[in-house]
Structure 1
Amino acid sequence: MREVQPIRDPQVIADIQNYLKVRNFRNYLLFTMGIHCGLRVSDLLNLKVGDVRDQLHISYVAQKTKNRRKRRKEKRFIIHPSYYDDLMIYIQDMDDDEYLFASRQKKSTGEKGLPISRQMAWRMISDVAQRFGLEDIGTHSLRKTWGYHMLMNAPPEQWGYVMALLMEAFGHESQEVTLRYLGLTQDMLDRMILRLSFTKTG
């Protein structure tokens, strides 16, 4: 099974957002929040309306670490201004105890109002990837896209600082792991090779 990749092209990201915004506002916000905060999809799906209403930051405990006492730690991420107003419009008629990304279908148990499943989120991302000609894209691609562009948009002199922040966010213990996770090892190698020149000038 191949490793999923970040979405590297900012124009493709903007095109996906515009496409989803018209087609499905909930999915647009799920995608947009995913590429702006670095959360796992499972953590995004567990957010409730009260977690975001009139907030500048969202506090959460990662689902993956909830049962690990040693690593259980509340984290915060900012609600990016680029989608803040859309998010507030989306939740204006919702109750605080509703899931932010609730399924519109009844579960087999008869329950309503539960968050969409991780499989449904994967299907949405997979459909979008196919439509826009992207390969090796999955639910993890959202947080990888966030990390990739966080680093690529940073000035070179700040890379060490940003890398330390990303390692903390992802729970990685080395830069090598983070670079490989973000698909940057190959990108950097490609760039360095393209800069090679053995032709003498002058």
Structure 2
Amino acid sequence: MNFVQPIRDPEIIQDIERFLKEKQVRDYIMFILGIYTALRISDILRLRVKDLRGKQYLTIKEKKTMKGRTIALHPIVKRELKKYLTDKPDNEYVIKSRVGKNRPITRERAYAILREAAEEFGLDAIGTHTLRKTFGYHLYKKTMDVALLQSIFNHADPSYTLRYIGITQDSMNDAIIKLKYF
């Protein structure tokens, strides 16, 4: 498996949002759910309309860890979901596939959607985990609170959290660039 990176540039995040929204609103919803909730793609794809419609918080049991988690829904996510979920039945998957009666898209399809957006904007090392890492990277840059992120991601060690969101790599790159001998 390749190591993926967060999207560090806020302007590129906005560009990707516009790109996805124009192509397919469903894909835009998947993207904003990822960058504003820190959920893994496996958890995003399992969401149904009833899990999100009219909610302030999302309560889920994470597929990977089997741990319960409650997440505040960002105002942007709530606003976009209110429009997107209108007239959808409660039991419908939020990120619904066009194949089959009521099934979510596959992880592979989610990856392909993100790769297409990445190629459009010249990004490398992008995958489905990029959404979660983007959340972490920008929350850390705003708060500088590694303990908070460590808790959100359920990581055992803060150094792992910093490496996970790309801060350790950024710090190494900055140190090398700033190195002066005289």
Q: Which runs of 5+ in 2 are unaligned?
A: none
2:137 matches 1:148: yes
Aligned residues: 182
CA distance in 2, matches of 1:80, 1:169: 15
CA distance in 2, matches of 1:178, 1:85: 30
Alignment correspondent of 1:42? 42
2:154 matches 1:163: no
Q: Select the residue among 75, 84, 88 that pairs with 1:90.
A: 84
CA distance in 1, matches of 2:108, 2:74: 26
Alignment correspondent of 1:102? 96
Alignment correspondent of 1:63? 63
Moved more, 140-149 or 81-90: 81-90
CA distance in 2, matches of 1:2, 1:44: 21
**By how many angstroms is 1:33 displaced?**
1.1
**By how many angstroms is 1:95 displaced?**
1.1
**By how many angstroms is 1:196 displaced?**
4.9
Alignment correspondent of 1:31? 31
Q: Which runs of 5+ in 1 are unaligned?
A: 67-72, 107-111
Q: Which runs of 4+ in 1 moved over 6 A?
A: none
Alignment correspondent of 1:133? 122
* Alpha carbons 2:36, 2:77 under 8 Å: kept: no
CA distance in 1, matches of 2:2, 2:69: 30
Q: Select the residue among 168, 174, 182 that pairs with 1:191.
A: 174
CA distance in 2, matches of 1:65, 1:177: 17
Greater gyration radius: 1
Moved more, 144-153 or 175-184: 175-184
Secondary structure at the aligned position of 2:140 is classed as helix
TM-score where L is the length of structure 2: 0.94
**By how many angstroms is 1:175 displaced?**
1.3
Alignment correspondent of 1:176? 159
RMSD: 1.4
TM-score where L is the length of structure 1: 0.85
**By how many angstroms is 1:195 displaced?**
4.5
2:102 matches 1:119: no
